[in-house]
Amino acid sequence: MTKRLEGKTVVITGASSGIGRSCAFEFARTAPKNLKLVLTARRVDRLREIATQIREEVGEGVQVLPVELDVSDPEAVKGFVGKLPEEFKAVDVLVNNAGLVKGMARAPEIAEDDINVMFKTNVTGLINMTQAVLPIFKTRPEGGAGDIINVGSIAGREPYAGGSIYCATKAAVRSFSDALRKELIDTRIRVMEVDPGQVETEFSVVRFYGDKSKADAVYAGCDPLTPDDIAEVVVFVAGRRQNVVVADTLIFPSHQA
Ligand code: NDP
């Protein structure tokens, strides 16, 4: 598996915290030779710190490039690949991880701004990122090669009261992944989805507008997953032979079954 990821260029969105950050470390630990990691998010200072930590841990065999990128800005996403340094342009793997919940309210009370932020980030941002890398994938033999790994959610399969918009965004990710996989059937481009259940990250606090006591209450008496639990699966699916498509994975803590 290490060998299969060696020499690859991996782009991760939302790499400044939680699952995306863990994915960065997991890719670097799994393929510490000749890997190129492009870490993107809005908080670029955090990305720089993560890049330093990765270099300290795995050495200089992994090249890490922090890039400030707001996936909800279509123009920024469109120009993203073109602005990468030459040695990072041949993207092999895109981990579409950036996402958020903004506000936990019943549908009639959800603010329009929050609806727009969730769709622009979780859905349109993910689609735009995919469109940005597909032309690179398509330049490769046999119709093209590369991996799109979309981080969805259990919420896209099992909608819950108070999360209607977020659930709808993740259901959209699911439909998009399934349709795109079919569109690319004659290529070596894999579209794979990893759907986490409860994972303790900043996500939990963001969804309550930063109210930590509300966030903590959600996991009281629970044993949520860690971001590393999800990152291990993301790197596992990326490390399969190119002919092996782990299309759809649902991972949740045992109490959530
Ligand atoms: P975090 O809040 O820790 O991480 C979210 C990441 O997304 C951050 O790095 C943030 O970076 C980035 N992000 C948010 N908005 C944007 C934007 N507009 N442009 C670029 N980056 C953005 O949460 P998680 O790690 O938990 O979330 C990662 C993914 O996992 C999300 O898609 C989430 O929906 C999904 N998920 C999480 C679950 C959980 O229980 N935690 C359960 C199921 C799915 P920055 O703010 O620096 O831009």
- 84-110 pLDDT per residue, tens: 999 999 999 999 999 999 988 899 999
CATH number of 70-256: 3.40.50.720
Collapsed DSSP state (helix, strand, coil) of residue 48: helix
Q: Please, are residues 201 and 167 in contact by the beta-carbon 8 Å criterion? A: no
Question: Which pLDDT does position 215 carry in this prediction?
Answer: 83
Among the atoms of ligand 1, which is closest to the Cα of residue 230? 30
Strand partners for 93: 10, 147
Would you tell me how many other CB atoms lie within 10 Å of the CB of residue 184? 19
Strands 9-13 and 35-41: parallel
Evaluate if residue 13 carries a pLDDT over 60: yes
Higher per-residue confidence, 60 vs 246: 246
What confidence score (pLDDT) does residue 211 get?
Answer: 86
> What ipTM was estimated for this complex?
0.99
184 has a pLDDT exceeding 60: yes
**Ligand 1 and 70: CB distance under 6 A:** yes
Predicted pLDDT of residue 237: 98
* Whether the CB of 63 sits within 6 Å of ligand 1: no
Which of 118, 198, 192, 101 has its CA nearest to residue 154?
Answer: 198
The yes-or-no verdict on residue 119 having pLDDT over 70 is yes
Q: Which of 196, 214, 217 lies closest to 206, judged by CA?
A: 214
Q: Can you tell me the mean pLDDT for 30-35?
A: 93
What share of residues in the chain are helix, strand, coil (percent, to 5)?
Answer: 50, 20, 35
Q: Can you give the pLDDT at residue 204?
A: 85
**Closest approach atom of ligand 1 to CA 70:** 19
Using one digit for the tens of pLDDT, what is the confidence trace for 167-179? 999 999 999 999 9
Phi, psi of 211, deg, nearest 5:
-80, 100
Instruction: State residue 217's pLDDT score.
Output: 86
Annotated active-site residue in 138, 166, 209, 214: 166
Q: Residues near 5 by Cβ (< 8 Å), separated by ≥ 6? A: 27, 30, 31, 35, 235, 238, 239
Q: According to the model, what pLDDT value does residue 222 have?
A: 87
* Predicted local confidence at residue 208, as pLDDT: 85
**Is the pLDDT at 47 greater than 70, yes or no?**
yes
| Contact 17 CB / ligand 1 (< 6 Å) | yes
